[in-house]
Structure 1
Amino acid sequence: MESNSTRVAKIATKMAICDRHEEEHLKKVYAEKGIKVTAVNIGGNINSSIAKILESALVAAKRNELIREEHLHEGAVIGATRDAVIQVANRANGQNVGGKIGIARGGEHISVCIFLSIGLLHLDEVVIGIGHRALPL
Structure 2
Amino acid sequence: MNSTDVAKAAIKVAITSSRATEEQIIEALYKHGVKAVAVDIGGDLIDSIPKIIERAIVASRRTGIIKECHVHDGAVAGAAREAIMQVSTKATGLNVGGKIGIARHKEHISVCIFMSIGLLHLNEVVIGIGHRSIPEVKD
Query: Is the TM value for this pair above 0.5?
Result: yes
Q: Which runs of 4+ in 1 moved over 2 A?
A: none
Q: Tell me the TM-score normalised to structure 1 length.
A: 0.96
Q: TM-score, normalised by structure 2?
A: 0.95
In the alignment, what sits opposite 2:52?
53
Q: How does 1:26-37 map to 2 (within 5 A)?
A: 26-37=25-36
One-letter amino acid of the structure 2 residue matched with residue 38 of structure 1: V
Tell me how far 1:27 sits from its aligned partner. Answer: 1.4
Q: What is the distance in 1 between the residues matched to 2:46 and 2:103? A: 25
CA–CA distance in structure 2, aligned partners of residues 32 and 101 of structure 1: 21
| Aligned residue number for residue 125 of structure 1 | 124
Q: Name the CA distance, whole Å, in 2 between partners of 1:67 and 1:132.
A: 14
Please report how far the alpha carbon of residue 47 of structure 1 lies from its aligned counterpart in structure 2 after TM superposition: 1.2
In 2, the alpha carbon distance for the partners of 1:11 and 1:115 equals: 13
Q: CA deviation at 1:90?
A: 1.2
Q: Matches of 2:27 and 2:85 in 1, distance apart?
A: 31
- Distance, in Å, in 1 between the alignment partners of 2:61 and 2:53 is 13
SS of match in other structure, 2:93: coil
**Percentage of matched positions with identical amino acids:** 59
Query: Does residue 8 of the first structure (1) align with residue 10 of the second (2)?
Result: no
Give secondary structure in 2 for the equivalent of 1:115. Answer: strand
Which runs of 5 or more structure 1 residues have no equivalent in the other structure? none
